[in-house]
Structure 1
Amino acid sequence: MSSWKKAAKANQKTHKERHQPESRKHLGLLEKKKDYKKRADDYHEKGETLKLLRKRTLDKNPDEFYFHMINSRVKNGEHHEVEKEDEHSKEQVKLMQTQDLKYINMKRTIESRRINRLQAQLHMSDVAEVTPNTHTFFVEEGEEKKFDLAKRLDTHPALLGRKSNRPRLSDLDKITLPDISDETLESMKKKKQKIYSELSKRIEREKELTVIQQKMELKRHLQDVKIMKPRRLKPGTKSTAPVYQFQYMRKK
């Protein structure tokens, strides 16, 4: 910058905006030009937005479809978003963030083996009694009323409802039942209920670990850059993994 320009700039008068007069201090701060500019720009911006919205409302087709209509509802004249179900539970998020796929697979295998061990211990005899089953006997015409099922099966009539542990009459004479007190029966019943409760919890745990494993495997496959982006058929929930359709790739 030349010397004469510096001198001209040094001698230039600085114009300042006037201060608020004493008689108008009760009206608040005096609005400066920069404040007015911000207020004016905001006013014009809102006006243009309202003009655009008014135009869109006039040009709107009442039969037009938007995908956002599926995820929103109008209640008392106001739009509300439809609450979506969380895809992961808190425990699933914690395991997926802190553990890897090998750990989840190992824990699921342990739970599956414990379930098989408990089922083998209980023999699932109670379930066998509840399961519907049919056994057909063929008799001559006119002998349906004379047919004796207990005699045909060679067992006591009180044991006809059983599908397992139904001995014959010839075997009942040979069986010697031990003396079991009521306290022993109650203890055995409580032990059996305890095993069933543990079995139920482990089955639920194994199902949850299976879902976590499926979600982590899907996440790993989706991060593969070599495959094309698949199409999601069904979103995931807390109890099920999402379903994707991958494009078929021919193997050489």
Structure 2
Amino acid sequence: MSSWKKAAKANQKTHKERHQLESRKHLGLLEKKKDYKKRADDYHEKGETLKLLRKRALDKNPDEFYFHMINSRVKDGEHHELQKEDESTKEQVKLMQTQDIKYINMKRIIESRRITRLQSQLHMSDVSDATPNTHTFFVDEGEEKDFDLAKRLDTHPDLIGRKSNRPRLSTLKKMNMPEIDEQTAEQMKKKKEKLYKELSKRIEREKDLTVVQQKMELKRHLQDVKVMKPKRVQRGSKQSAPVYQFQYMRKK
């Protein structure tokens, strides 16, 4: 750069944008060119959008059908989505219509305690024995044929299939086992099966009561919403309550 250009640049005056006059200070900050540019671009963008929407409305066929018409309605000039009702069993609907949350919660706690008592009584030994399990034993070559599993576990051959309550032979010798005939054993088996059926029914009952309680609590929360209705993310079913996404509200 030549010395003449440097001198010209050094003597160049710096122009500053004027500020708002004192007499017009009540009107706010004085709009600068960059502010006007943003406002103008926004105005033209909205104008182009309205022009495009107007063209689409003119080109639309009033007799045209599309499937979303079934799930939407226009009410008072506003578009609303029609949400499908949550699925519920007859027993769930009856409980929600006739009982309150406190009663449902009390019945659910009672069922939960009965389930715990039945599980502790049955020990779930039959269920654990039915679950497949593997136990690997390592033997030397040539000993596979002579390998005796009952001898290795030190128990009776009839008790090999058990996972729990599998005593050793030394323990069996010390135990005084009562003599039980076939009729008594069949009665005990039927009694145990009856208890398992009752346990299964109570578990299903406790699940239904939990779903009913969740649906009723959610319905109460939806009634308390005053600012903005939450968005439903997942539809409710017979096995689960619906899922809503609530607007984040900052607490003071």
- Quickly name the TM-score band, shorter chain normalised: 0.5 to 0.7
Which amino acid in structure 2 is aligned with residue 245 of structure 1? Answer: Q
Q: Does 1:67 align with 2:68?
A: yes
1:98, distance to aligned residue in structure 2 (A) = 1.8
Q: Does 1:202 align with 2:202?
A: yes
1:197, distance to aligned residue in structure 2 (A) = 1.8
In structure 2, the residue matched to 1:20 is none
In structure 2, the residue matched to 1:160 is 160
Secondary structure of the residue aligned to 1:206 is: helix
CA contact 2:86–2:235 (8 Å) conserved in 1: no
1:183, distance to aligned residue in structure 2 (A) = 2.3
1:213, distance to aligned residue in structure 2 (A) = 0.1
RMSD: 2.7
Which amino acid in structure 1 is aligned with residue 191 of structure 2? Answer: K
Measured in 1, the distance between the counterparts of 2:157 and 2:227 equals 66
1:177, distance to aligned residue in structure 2 (A) = 1.8
CA contact 1:208–1:239 (8 Å) conserved in 2: yes
Which amino acid in structure 1 is aligned with residue 243 of structure 2? Answer: V
In structure 2, the residue matched to 1:102 is 102
CA contact 1:108–1:210 (8 Å) conserved in 2: yes
CA distance 1:106–1:178, shift in 2 (3 Å): same
Which amino acid in structure 2 is aligned with residue 101 of structure 1? Answer: I
1:226, distance to aligned residue in structure 2 (A) = 4.2
Structure 2 unaligned residues grouped into runs of 5+: 1-60, 73-83
1:91, distance to aligned residue in structure 2 (A) = 2.0
Moved more, 199-208 or 223-232: 223-232
In structure 2, the residue matched to 1:8 is none
Which amino acid in structure 2 is aligned with residue 67 of structure 1? Answer: H
TM-score normalised by structure 2 residue count: 0.62
CA distance 1:241–1:103, shift in 2 (3 Å): same
Q: Does 1:56 align with 2:57?
A: no
Measured in 2, the distance between the counterparts of 1:226 and 1:145 equals 78
1:179, distance to aligned residue in structure 2 (A) = 1.4
In structure 2, the residue matched to 1:31 is none
Map 1:1-252 → 2, pairs under 5 A: 56-57=62-63, 60=64, 65-68=66-69, 87-140=87-140, 147-226=147-226, 228-252=228-252
Measured in 1, the distance between the counterparts of 2:128 and 2:99 equals 39
CA contact 2:86–2:242 (8 Å) conserved in 1: no
Deviation string 1:201-239 (CA, Å, 9 cap, x unpaired) is 111111111110000011011111345321111111223
CA distance 1:239–1:121, shift in 2 (3 Å): same
1:143, distance to aligned residue in structure 2 (A) = 5.1
1:93, distance to aligned residue in structure 2 (A) = 2.0
CA distance 1:127–1:222, shift in 2 (3 Å): same
Deviation string 1:84-120 (CA, Å, 9 cap, x unpaired) is 7862222222221221111110110011101111111
CA contact 1:211–1:241 (8 Å) conserved in 2: yes
Secondary structure of the residue aligned to 1:232 is: strand
CA contact 1:85–1:237 (8 Å) conserved in 2: no
Which amino acid in structure 2 is aligned with residue 160 of structure 1? Answer: I
Measured in 2, the distance between the counterparts of 1:148 and 1:227 equals 74
Identity of aligned residues (%): 73
1:248, distance to aligned residue in structure 2 (A) = 3.0
CA contact 1:235–1:242 (8 Å) conserved in 2: yes
1:127, distance to aligned residue in structure 2 (A) = 1.0
Measured in 1, the distance between the counterparts of 2:203 and 2:185 equals 27
Which amino acid in structure 1 is aligned with residue 235 of structure 2? Answer: P
1:163, distance to aligned residue in structure 2 (A) = 0.8
Measured in 2, the distance between the counterparts of 1:227 and 1:183 equals 70
CA distance 1:85–1:159, shift in 2 (3 Å): farther
Secondary structure of the residue aligned to 2:134 is: coil
